Chains A and B, each alone.
Chain A
Amino acid sequence: AQKITQTQPGMFVQEKEAVTLDCTYDTSDPSYGLFWYKQPSSGEMIFLIYQGSYDQQNATEGRYSLNFQKARKSANLVISASQLGDSAMYFCAMVRPSNTGKLIFGQGTTLQVKP
């Protein structure tokens, strides 16, 4: 079965510090894509970062980086220099080209940044 697991329901981080949000996935497909989305209290899902299964390097987008460990099937999101505006729910998701592109989401992690 295809599955995304986020084991941290809630996380706290001090402003300006780095934080890692965990994500593990399960698929037997050789080709897949991994995504992280941010959902603030307003409810909109905001795309943060993408990692393809064949990508040789870890993806980075500004303060966001993805620690991709293929053998361990993990795709952790690292947020550097946390800001108060980073407080939100974060979802890890996977797409498999063999499965019409629908996203499979994890349960989400609520991140609270403390001033």
Chain B
Amino acid sequence: GAGVSQSPSNKVTEKGKDVELRCDPISGHTALYWYRQSLGQGLEFLIYFQGNSAPDKSGLPSDRFSAERTGGSVSTLTIQRTQQEDSAVYLCASSLVFSSGSASGTDTQYFGPGTRLTVL
């Protein structure tokens, strides 16, 4: 079946503009995650969605960042008033479920190809 897809693959924007990044998870996966990969910070968790539960937004770096997941499937990460330090690769991942009780192979997260964001 199809893997996780993300769009756009590359985005160049000017400082101060808003951007939207899209993620389409693997069909049937209930958990969806956003991460950011940058040279200085490595791989950082941003936000997590699981079914109809309230998302875990603990990794969002500022209130300029927000995300939503519509219909339990597609997710959009929005960055408002972009800054140069927002330049990074934004990775989306999905897993079949998230096992809150005990670790399981169903927790395996499968990643999309990422969106490379460059803020000029």
Interface residues of A (CB under 8 A from B): 31-33, 35, 37, 42-47, 50, 52-54, 91, 93, 95-98, 100-105, 107-108
Contact = CB atoms under 8 A, between A and B. Distances in A.
Interface of B: 31, 33, 35, 42-43, 45, 48, 50, 56, 58-59, 89, 91, 93, 95, 98-105, 107-114, 116
B53 to A, nearest CB: 9
A93 B42 CA distance: 12
Contacts of A98: 100
Given A97-B99, A97-B103, A47 B108 contact: yes
A102 B108 contact: no
Contact of A33 (B91, B101, B103, B116): B103
Contacts of A33: 103-105, 107
A50 B58 CA distance: 25
5 contacts: A31-B102, A46-B111, A52-B103, A97-B100, A100-B48
